[in-house]
Structure 1
């Protein structure tokens, strides 16, 4: 298995960037299309636990706008040609709050890259976060 093939990283990054743009614009249809349309899809958000695409779609439909954010650091690791893990450290604009987002993406036959699992968390206001290890 090849880890971190540059071409596969570029493919995953394109999906990551498309998702980020759609999130900031609250383009629900695009966000839904990027997630795997399957009951096994999972999304753990800051204030919600969602199992299955229908729960994720219902949540998305209820959101009026997402908090705007700037990317502080993005890491993408790929495992072979069909699996990628994306990690985003971000800061909510105007608040100083730091968040983290991890997405597991898989290339689904006939569909292309889809998010199959996502986890979003936000640090407490009094915890700026500690970055340990190598920072690129």
Structure 2
């Protein structure tokens, strides 16, 4: 667990993903995902099953992702080829906290790719 090389690679990739997300770099964002019909992205706006639906979601998102600040980001690796990245975030103009999980796998030819992602916003507690 937490192989130093794998963890450093995933930390760098997670940071690059976040930069691409904030810059709305669609080509880069597409390249982070496993190019498979089995790739998955769950979000508040629905589910994208497969790389084609994930790419269509990105293309259809006018202006890209809202600006956000990350907090409590954690990256854990399981051997040299598997890892999970989790973070919470606060979007500009949004009272709710967001949560994001990415499951990463290193493929022999492709290298590291996100095989599953989940993004959600947590409901604001009553009275908050």
Structure 1 residue runs of 5 or longer lacking an equivalent are: 129-136
**TM-score (norm. length: structure 1):** 0.88
C-alpha displacement of 1:127 = 2.8
3-state DSSP class of the match of 2:94?
coil
Q: Distance in 1 between matches of 2:45 and 2:77?
A: 28
Alignment of structure 1 residues 63-102 onto 2, 5 Å: 63-64=61-62, 65-102=64-101
Aligned residue number for residue 10 of structure 2 = 12
3-state DSSP class of the match of 1:120?
strand
**TM-score (norm. length: structure 2):** 0.93
After TM superposition, which residue ranges in structure 1, 4 or more long, deviate above 4 angstroms?
none
3-state DSSP class of the match of 1:21?
helix
Q: How many residues align?
A: 125
C-alpha displacement of 1:33 = 0.3
Deviations 1:47-94 (A, max 9, x none): 111110011111111012211110111011100000000001111123
Alignment of structure 1 residues 1-136 onto 2, 5 Å: 3-64=1-62, 65-124=64-123, 126-127=124-125
3-state DSSP class of the match of 1:32?
helix
3-state DSSP class of the match of 1:60?
helix
CA RMSD of aligned residues (A): 1.2
